[in-house]
Chain A
């Protein structure tokens, strides 16, 4: 039944999207894909023609469609695996360095320049470690769990557009797809926790399931807001809709309710990724290591890799749907390959900035209590995100036309509001920080020795 429901939903939204795509005049993604173009280029290249000539043919024969599609996807997936590994390793290094900085120590700085190769060294070490499957474990599920988690992380990357026309695929139901596939990782985690036959792992997995399931609701609802504003579920098309104003017409500046929705999305994404202050499923002071207590060596590293890949992915979705994707002021002055490279750089830098924010939050805020975490998702985030959806849809219906056809005062209203709110909040925080720094009592309580040394 659920399959038929999903199918009908898919058909319906595909049809609706065609209509809206035509109505908005948005450029839909071309039917060809750059991986297929690459194959075609290889086929018609000088070397291939020479080789075909040796075989007595005029030109290299065209591949059958399915083979071309398979090889094209293979190229894409190879790039994605490389990209995911590099991004995850860089994020791990970044996390350790930032943590070191925040805790007044150095962090890894010995392996490679600035310790950049530390994660690689750790990976090699983990590969050489003994692999232990507990005697009481359900072996099949135990082995399958990290693979499922890794597969879901990779599949989510399939829908992320890094640059205009250079995404791995441009799925027309991108947002829905990502929300759906991210649930697959949860199943992998429950499998890991349950199959370990370990009490810590079981508690961790159950907490994880409850937490992820609770925060999936505000996450999904806050993702509705950019969908309302853009009228598309395709991440690439959404990014294209944000390219106005010389690359700064982000959804954030198109509707006043996108900013609160983004904040809610970010909080929910933290909880979805089990990041502090929501890292109850793996809180080491209560549950040793949570669901991966029994995992060691390279098997453990897959969970670790997935966590950082998922962090980047949630940031990438946030970038594409709220922060303008690959658009940046002045980027359209570039052309051709430079434009693609610049778009890629902008997208990765924006996403890494959000990852940095997640890391910063982790090392700044204390962990929440389990009941606070469970209550916050439904009692605060869900109603607030529903308010955002209601507000955004009322605003859009009132405006009635796509963003670029609105009167100029309406276009300028949201950017002014957003910058105003940010300025006021920033000033308040700054004032508070200055006041708290001026009070000697708090500082002497935290670090009496440092305070004494200062005098």
Chain B
């Protein structure tokens, strides 16, 4: 058995070495003529605006948290799955209790709306967050500025916005 895990170690190391060996072999035959334009980040030919190492959407963090809970669940269920037929009824009840508690967590997250990628806030749902009513934000930040939408001819006029007191485009 220890031989098996040693084997895995050798596989991992060889995988790493394989890539570097190929890079070295390739380095002998490939051209290397860097220019500043060639080395700049690719943004479809435009000049690069700002750094890419930016703050990122909090939703990814929530996703990771939810995953963590279920990953632990799966890790605990594997030993259970091995022996469930042998132990029988007792294992069944214990396993289902465990799964039920975790399902409760899934239901909570579901009702709270954290499973939705595009958030729709609903204050009527218990536990929902009450925020200002606005169109769903796109992935890269909030809704587009009103001035921009007006320039494109799709935004609301200023008077409309003032009279109705709305925020964002309708």
Contacts and interface: CB of A to CB of B under 8 A. Distances in A.
Q: Do A and B bind each other?
A: yes
Contacts of A227: 78, 81-82
A220 B73 CA distance: 10
Interface string B21-55: 01101110111111010111111100000011110
A134 B60 contact: no
Nearest to A193: B52
Interface in B79-124: 79, 81-86, 88-89, 91-92, 95-96, 99, 103, 106, 109-110, 115-118
Contacts of A374: 63, 115, 117
Contact of B82 (A153, A233, A402): A233
B135 interface: no
B71 interface: yes
A346 to B, nearest CB: 24
Interface stretch (A90-98, A293-301, A327-335): A293-301
A294 B42 contact: yes
Contacts of A379: 110, 115
Interface of A is mostly: helix
A215 to B, nearest CB: 10
A119 interface: no
A197 interface: yes
A390 interface: yes
Interface in A189-205: 194, 196-203
Contact of A23 (B20, B53, B86): B86
Contacts of A209: 60, 64
A200 B48 CA distance: 12
Interface in A154-174: 154-155, 157-159, 168-172
Nearest to B66: A378
Interface in A8-63: 9, 12-13, 16-17, 19-20, 23, 33, 36
28 contacts: A9-B79, A36-B3, A69-B6, A127-B22, A131-B32, A133-B39, A135-B40, A150-B18, A151-B14, A155-B8, A155-B15, A157-B11, A158-B4, A168-B7, A171-B8, A196-B41, A199-B52, A203-B139, A206-B57, A206-B60, A214-B63, A216-B67, A217-B71, A220-B70, A231-B85, A232-B82, A293-B42, A382-B106
Interface of A: 5-6, 9, 12-13, 16-17, 19-20, 23, 33, 36, 69-70, 72-74, 76-77, 80-81, 127-136, 143, 146-148, 150-155, 157-159, 168-172, 175-177, 179, 194, 196-203, 206, 209-210, 213-214, 216-217, 220-221, 224, 227-228, 231-233, 288, 293-294, 297-299, 302, 370-371, 374-375, 378-379, 382-383, 386, 389-390, 393-394, 396-397, 399-400, 402
Given A132-B39, A298-B26, A370-B139, 19 more contacts: A6-B75, A69-B7, A72-B3, A73-B10, A129-B30, A150-B19, A155-B11, A176-B75, A197-B41, A198-B41, A199-B43, A200-B42, A202-B52, A202-B56, A210-B63, A228-B85, A371-B118, A389-B77, A389-B81
